[in-house]
Amino acid sequence: MSFEKLDDLYRRIDAIDHALSILGADEATNMAVGGGEARAESMATLAGMRHRMATAPDISGWIETAEGEALNEEQAIALREFRRSHLNLTCLPPEFVERQTRTRMRCEQLWRDMRARNDWAGFQPALTGVVELAREEAALRSDALGLEPYDAMMEQYDPGNRVADIAPVLDELKAFLVDFVPRALAIQEERLSRHPLKPLSGAYPIEKQRELGLAMMAAVGFDVTHGSLSISHHPFCGGVPTDVRITTRYRTSEFLSSLMGVLHETGHALYEQGLPRENAHWPSAKARGMAMHESQSLFVEKQIGRNPAFWQWALPVVERYLGESWTLDDILPHVHGVERGLIRVDADEVTYPLHVILRFELEQDLISGRLEVADLPEAWDTKMKDYLGLSTIDAPADGPMQDVHWPAGAFGYFPSYTLGAMIAAQQWAAIERESPDMGDDFAQGRFDRVNQWRSDHIWSQASRWSTPELIERATGEPLNADHFRRHLEKRYGTA
């Protein structure tokens, strides 16, 4: 049967993906600096092998023949995803994939060094090469998929996302936030006038923070027998569902940024660990796009980790590992602090979407050619001033060099972050309708019930449905940004 041939093919492709994922995670955490060039060549060769295997001439015939075979429901869903995956893969020639993988890896490796030096001039040529290849990729995908170039790039991360659909939503959110951020800051100032901020001690050894992070990961459901926690320049969740690699970064002067980063990446990991194990090599058993993935990570960070009920349970845990005693009134101003800042990954949930919208707008211009890499620092600075009143013109490390996404060639990814925040808020609203007492579970350190809901409605569904279908089936309504706005207004908009 042709379906059996496809099944065997994707089993072998999945094995290469496994190797690439672990090599990539190791490259970001453990690899010696001198290993970069050889690692780039190795991964580029594997990527080329994978691409050739996945785009072999016989595959389109297998897909067509399998359409007429007697398939069960799960096989039919898998075949649909086989077809979608094959169409997206055949857009790009194997030699292009190898060239692009090599260019991206070398740029990412250079980025780690150049960002630490705040050296835009040294980094710009490498990023220019990545952007040129991204434009070439966008054109190839556009021709094959019948989409606008940037839409074709977003399709790789979140099938169904289109600028025409999401840009108006993000424009509306931007207008709301530009007005709401000053209001939230004023309310925060008034609260602090009544209860001054208790400062952090500024003495948090990395090993103690790591132990705290591991304890929190396990408490919210992370399977420590199928994953690990490491350090990297940029926090990420990588690896594979049976070996999930979480990373974070630490500051000894405070502990919340690392802890919240760990909770965020744990949300990604829970999704991966919760995916169906049966036929895990099928595309239909993988996570359904990056907006849904971000909704799972942001749910753990925001809906759980910044919930006051969570901190009723968490404060004794923090005291046990870090040796400091806090009250809710002391810690919540730190957990819910709003601040205009330069760094996206450190941003609070009020200002964070503005960081994403800035990138969404700039990368559309980069892909279209309306903006060149050489002009990126000035364009970034202009938007940062308009949206958050801050300047990065003299600090490119805190501007267009701060994220790993563009050096790694991930254009079209950023919208998923804020769409994910909207989906997370909508999921929480649905959970509260069904279980208004869920906060009581958090206060007692119990997360099995909320995880069961997410397993039933999100994780176990994998890629059976499109993102819009999955949202509606899980929450009972299409994506509705009002839930996110109400969430922000409730948490930050009342005195």
Task: Kindly report the pTM of this predicted structure.
Answer: 0.88
The pair of three-digit structure tokens given for residue 224, joined into one six-digit string? 């420590």
pLDDT at 162 > cutoff 70: yes
Is CATH 1.20.1740.10 the classification given to domain 163-492? no
Per-residue pLDDT averaged across 160-179, rounded? 92
pLDDT, averaged across the chain: 94
Which stretch of 10-19, 28-37, 290-299 has the lowest confidence by average pLDDT?
A: 28-37
Residue spans in the chain of domains classed CATH 1.10.1370.30: 163-492
pLDDT tens string 307-355: 999 999 999 999 999 999 999 999 999 999 999 999 998 889 999 999 9
- State residue 89's pLDDT score: 86
- State residue 436's pLDDT score: 96
pLDDT tens string 382-405: 999 999 999 999 999 999 999 999
pLDDT at 101 > cutoff 60: yes
Burial class of residue 153, CB neighbours in 10 A (0-12, 13-18, 19+): buried
The residues that are catalytic are: 265
pLDDT tens string 246-284: 999 999 999 998 999 999 999 999 999 999 999 999 999
- State residue 494's pLDDT score: 66
Identify the residue with better confidence: 493 or 164: 164
pLDDT at 463 > cutoff 90: yes
Burial class of residue 150, CB neighbours in 10 A (0-12, 13-18, 19+): buried
pLDDT at 65 > cutoff 60: yes
**pLDDT above 70 coverage of the chain, percent:** 100
* Distance from C-alpha of 478 to C-alpha of 259, rounded to nearest angstrom: 32
Residue length, the chain? 495
pLDDT at 495 > cutoff 60: no
